[in-house]
C-alpha cells in the first residue's frame, strides 16, 4: 500500500522510476547529484515506491528532539564524526550486525558545490566487503534511477572514473551546485 501511494505521489509530481535492483542483500547505495533539500524526500519516496528499506547516516545532531524519532523511523542512523570516532568502522559494523542492509549516502556531503566527493562510501563498502550501487535523482528528466553495481577496488581513481561515467548525464535540481566527481587532491608542501 505504501509503495503504491509513494509511486502515485512521484507520478503526480511528474517523476518516473527506473530501477535495476541487484540480487544482493547488502550494499552501499550512493545518491547523486545532491544539490537541493528536495533530494531527501524524493529519495525516501522512491525507496518506498521500490519497496526497499534503506538506512542512511546523518550527523548525530540531526537526531535530537523533536526530529530524532522520525528520522530513525525512516532509516536514519546517527553518526558521531567528532571526538575521534571512526564512522567508517561504525557503518561497516552495521553490515556485520544485519543479514540485509542498504546504506544510502550522498557522497557530495553537502548541497553546495565542492571540488571533490567524500570517499567514505568507498571505504565503508570495502571494510564491509559489500558492493556499491549508484542511484540518481535526475531533475532534468524528472527521473529517479538505480543501477550500476560495482565492488570497490584498491584503485579508487579507476572506481571514480566508472562513477563519473555513470553520472555524466544526470542533472541535479541546481546544476551549478554539482560537485566534481573526483577524489580530494592531496596537498603538497608547495600548496601551503
Per-residue pLDDT of the chain (192 residues; tens, 9 = 90+): 889 999 999 999 999 999 888 899 999 999 999 999 899 899 989 999 999 999 887 778 888 888 888 888 888 878 776 654 587 888 888 899 999 999 999 998 777 888 889 999 999 999 999 999 999 999 999 999 998 899 999 999 999 999 999 999 999 999 999 989 999 887 444 443
CB neighbour class for 192 (10 Å; exposed up to 12, middle 13-18, buried from 19) = exposed
Query: Maximum Cα–Cα distance for the chain, whole Å?
Result: 59
Count of C-beta atoms within a 10 Å radius of residue 155: 9
Return the pLDDT at 166.
96
What's the pTM value of the predicted model, to 2 decimals?
Answer: 0.86
CA 189 vs CA 96, 166, 173, 186, 192: distances in Å:
40, 34, 38, 10, 6
Amino acid at each position: 500500500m505504501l509503495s503504491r501511494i509513494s509511486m502515485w505521489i512521484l507520478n503526480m509530481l511528474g517523476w518516473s522510476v527506473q530501477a535495476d535492483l541487484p540480487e544482493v542483500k547488502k550494499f552501499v547505495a550512493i545518491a547523486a547529484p545532491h544539490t537541493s533539500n528536495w533530494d531527501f524526500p524524493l529519495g525516501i519516496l522512491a525507496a518506498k515506491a521500490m519497496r526497499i528499506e534503506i538506512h542512511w547516516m546523518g550527523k548525530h545532531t540531526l537526531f535530537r528532539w523533536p526530529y530524532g524519532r522520525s528520522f530513525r523511523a525512516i532509516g536514519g542512523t546517527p553518526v558521531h564524526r567528532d571526538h575521534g570516532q571512526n564512522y567508517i568502522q561504525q557503518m561497516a559494523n552495521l553490515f556485520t550486525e544485519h543479514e540485509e542492509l542498504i546504506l544510502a549516502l550522498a557522497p557530495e556531503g553537502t548541497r553546495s558545490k565542492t571540488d571533490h566527493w567524500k570517499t567514505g562510501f568507498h571505504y565503508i563498502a570495502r571494510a564491509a566487503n559489500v558492493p556499491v550501487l549508484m542511484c540518481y535523482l535526475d531533475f532534468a528528466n524528472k527521473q529517479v534511477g538505480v543501477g550500476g553495481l560495482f565492488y570497490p577496488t584498491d584503485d579508487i581513481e579507476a572506481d571514480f572514473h566508472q562513477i563519473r561515467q555513470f553520472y555524466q548525464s544526470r542533472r541535479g535540481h541546481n546544476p551549478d551546485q554539482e560537485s566534481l566527481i573526483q577524489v580530494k587532491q592531496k596537498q603538497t608542501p608547495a600548496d601551503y
